[in-house]
A and B are shown apart, each in its own frame.
Chain A
Amino acid sequence: MLGVRIFLFVALCVTGLFWGLPAKGNEQERLSILNLPSDPISFQAGPGSDIANSYCAICHSAEYVYMQPPHPREQWMEIVKKMKTSFGCPIPDEQISPLVDYLISQNSVQLSTPSYPVHKEVPDEMSGQAAKHPVDPKKGKTLYAQHCLNCHGTGGKGDGPIGQSLIPPAANLTLLGKKSDKAILDTIRNGRAGTAMPSWKAYLNQSAMRDLLAFLRTLSQ
């Protein structure tokens, strides 16, 4: 998919299609394109952040939480319950209270300035420090169970507890065989706009992402 999109981009770029505007000329007048940026921030790591990443980040970026003024517990509780009952968030009841605790803990968190971290160019994954670190698929499996399983499922087929209720459904990770390491790492790092896949870059460091990647490679074997 990513490969297809990159190809599409190149094709459109060659025809001079400008981003977000109906462009000029025959072919260009036909399509209007909207490519949105990925989430600029993630939920800050801490007790309960995995719940926020698993459920809140399905539908919205973490900015929705960090723009809020400090709310008392009752108000966060009301908000989370509204997300579940009115907006259909698939959070289990027993996770609500720990999530509220986490949200309260974020009341006073000041994000670093600028609060939109400027994304760095993705380094060549096969060079630099990260590539020298020996990868460990066992560590990757643990990370997978913590962060990925709810959506992508035990075997990675996108059949986790909430994977199929997402639109689009969670990706089938057993089909990643043809994707480059760089493309997969980029998705883990930055998430996928228009899908439930959040950005994990504030949560997993480079070597953790490579461990996770090593585990993902075992899923398609």
Chain B
Amino acid sequence: MNENNSGINRRGFLKGSLALGAAVLVNPNSLWAGQAPSMAQYVDLPFERGRRPLVAFPGKRPLMAMTTRPPQLETPFHIFNEDIFTPNDAFFVRWHLANIPRDIDVNTFRLTIRGRVHQSLSLSLEELKTQFEQVEIAAVCQCGGNSRGFFQPRVSGGQWGNGAMGNANWKGVRLRDLLQKAGIEDDAVQIRFDGLDQPVAEATPDFRKSLNLDDAIKKEVLVAHSMNGDPLPMLNGFPLRLVVPGWYATYWVKMLNDIEVLNQADQNFWTTQAYRLPADPCHCLQPGEALTGTIPIGKMTVRSFITNLENDRTIPGGKPCTIKGIAFDQGYGIDRLLLSVDGGQQWQAAQLGKDYGDFSFRPWEAKFIPESGHSYALQSLAINRIGESQRFDARWNPSGYLRNVIETVNIHAT
């Protein structure tokens, strides 16, 4: 965070309401292609009621404020063109319950590991950082409802554009190392995770998520204390967050302070009733069709985005135009990126950029020469290493999950 932002935040601290007035104001028309943000107050997402004011929350630069209580903040899309790793102060924010701790004392904070274990543990941050191997992994964290605002017909829920995702280097300890130290009982089947956030109304179920034991002990699953080399921002789960690479962010429990080993399937609301997909292989329905069986949301679908050109952009014709973007999947890694400039009639291979690991954003780039006076429908199509690709038609489900249709960016050459 630079000095200027600190100043904004300190004024905001002086008087909470002033934080809104103190937002750096950014012109949505200058949000692309590395142009420096200047003066404007909001971004208009391309759907009804898509206006999002740019507001600087604690530890954050001005982001697209979807809701304030509990906080839900979207990353303006141009950020994804600037760095393959999303800066901490630009990383999206999504809380479920408004009763979030106002302060955390790092000296007294403890992470407990209990339940079906030989020996319960209560670990300080210092112990976590010194008594266990420290591991770092690049991984995409994406909300299950990312891009929900684009569903047609529209569905209820948080109306995100495409910015409820981010890529970071997460550092911490392996969950399995902690479980091994506690010693899990033979009858353990699931691990349940709870954070310090609490409901406002007494009858609201506390936010907790569970993973099957087999998934929880994968080597990439971390209890992370750092993000891109710095402590986690409060709004992204300081001091500890579960990191489940390849899985949707709902499992990445923030302000993690309790790990419970269960000997039966978790029956809590957030696992059995919330974040559910239609059970069929497509995880989709026809709009209006009755929902029958459901399964919990799990791993992420294959996606890709063009990051350096926004829709309806005008570019100079007759000279090479570079198209840049990102792709990711659930952790098989990206094998190929195909690009079309004619709305999907013909595809050419794009050049994949540096590989930061199977769970990271993968940069890609392609060039073409637009003809003056022509319009082009740019599309990118990612295929992962087991041959899964993005969908050609947008799947629909009533909760607005798993969008991974091929996206289109229309540009015009002068």
A residues lining the B interface (CB < 8 Å): 9, 13, 18-22, 29-40, 58-61, 63-64, 66-71, 75, 79, 86-90, 113-122, 162, 165-167, 190, 193-196
Assuming the contacts A30-B107, A70-B48, asked whether A35 and B99 have C-beta atoms less than 8 A apart, the reply is no
Given contacts A34-B103, A114-B53, is CB(A20)–CB(B59) below 8 Å?
yes
B129 at the interface (CB under 8 A from A): no
Contact between chains at B67 and A119 (CB < 8 Å)? no
A86 / chain B contacts, CB cutoff of 8 Å: 205, 269, 273-274
Decide yes or no: A116 and B53 within 8 Å by CB, A87-B201, A90-B203 being known contacts: yes
Taking a contact as CB atoms under 8 Å apart, the answer to whether B201 and A196 are in contact is yes
A64 to B202, CA, bound (A): 20
Q: Is there an interface contact between B201 and A9, defined as CB atoms closer than 8 Å?
A: no
Given known contacts A33-B102, A116-B53, A119-B21, is B68 in contact with A13 (CB within 8 Å)? no
Q: Would you give the shortest CB distance from A165 to chain B, in whole angstroms?
A: 5
Contact B42–A35 (Cβ < 8 Å)? no
Residues from chain A with Cβ under 8 Å of B106 in the complex: 22, 29-32
Q: What is the size, in residues, of chain B's interface with A at 8 Å between Cβ atoms? A: 66
In-complex Cβ contact of B68 among A9, A31, A40, A71 (8 A): A40
Q: Which residues on the B side are within 8 Å of A113 (C-beta)?
A: 42, 51
Most buried by B among A9, A67, A167: A67
Residue of B nearest to A193 (CB): B16
Q: A21-B233, A31-B104, A35-B13 are known contacts. Are A63 and B67 too (CB-CB below 8 A)?
A: yes
Which residues does chain A contribute within 8 Å of B47, judged by CB atoms? 69
A40 CA to B17 CA in the complex, in Å? Answer: 8
> B-side binding surface: helix, strand, loop or mixed?
loop
A36 touches B69 (CB 8 A): yes
A-B contact pairs, 9 of them (CB 8 A): A34-B101, A36-B71, A37-B19, A40-B55, A59-B200, A63-B68, A87-B201, A116-B53, A190-B16
The one of A13, A29, A36 in contact with B16, judged by C-beta atoms closer than 8 angstroms, is A36
Q: B70 near A: Cβ within 8 Å?
A: yes
Identify the closest chain B residue to A22 (Cβ): B231
B198 touches which of A114, A122, A167 (Cβ 8 Å)? A167
B12 near A: Cβ within 8 Å?
A: yes
**A-facing residues in B250-303 (Cβ within 8 Å):** 269, 273-274
Residue in contact with B13 in the complex, picked from A13, A67, A68, A190, CB distance below 8 Å = A13
Residues of B within 8 A of A19 (CB): 6, 9-10, 12-13, 58-59
Which residue of A34, A59, A115 contacts B234 across the interface (Cβ within 8 Å)?
A34
Q: Are A88 and B154 in contact, CB atoms less than 8 angstroms apart?
A: no
Q: Which B residues are closer than 8 A to A by beta carbons?
A: 1, 6, 9-10, 12-21, 23, 41-42, 47-49, 51, 53, 55, 57-60, 65-71, 97-107, 154, 156, 158-159, 198-205, 231, 233-235, 238-239, 269, 273-274
- In the complex, chain A residues whose CB is within 8 Å of the CB of B15: 122
What is the predominant secondary structure among interface residues of chain A facing chain B?
Answer: loop
Nearest chain B CB to A205 CB, angstrom units: 17
Q: Are A18 and B100 in contact (CB under 8 A)?
A: no
Contacts of B42 in A (CB 8 A): 113-115
Question: Bound state CA distance, A166 and B12, in angstroms?
Answer: 27
**5 nearest interchain CB pairs?**
A88-B203, A20-B58, A20-B59, A19-B9, A69-B154
A19-B10, A63-B66, A113-B42 given. 8 additional CB < 8 A pairs? A30-B106, A32-B238, A67-B159, A87-B201, A87-B204, A117-B20, A119-B17, A193-B16
Question: Which of B42, B58, B106, B159 gathers the greatest number of chain A CB atoms within 10 Å?
Answer: B58
CB pair A68–B57 under 8 Å, yes or no, is no
Contacts A114-B53, A119-B20 given; does A37 touch B68 at CB 8 Å: yes
Residue of A nearest to B50 (CB): A67
B-side contacts of A166, CB under 8 Å: 200-202
A18 touches which of B10, B48, B231 (Cβ 8 Å): B10
- A35-B16, A36-B71, A38-B68 known; A13+B10 contact, CB < 8 A: yes
Contacts of A70 in B (CB 8 A): 48
Which residue, B58, B69, B101, B106, has most C-beta atoms of chain A within 10 A?
A: B69
A118 to B101, CA, bound (A): 25
A63 and B20 CA atoms in complex are apart in Å by 14
Q: How far is the CA of A29 from the CA of B69 in the complex (A)?
A: 27
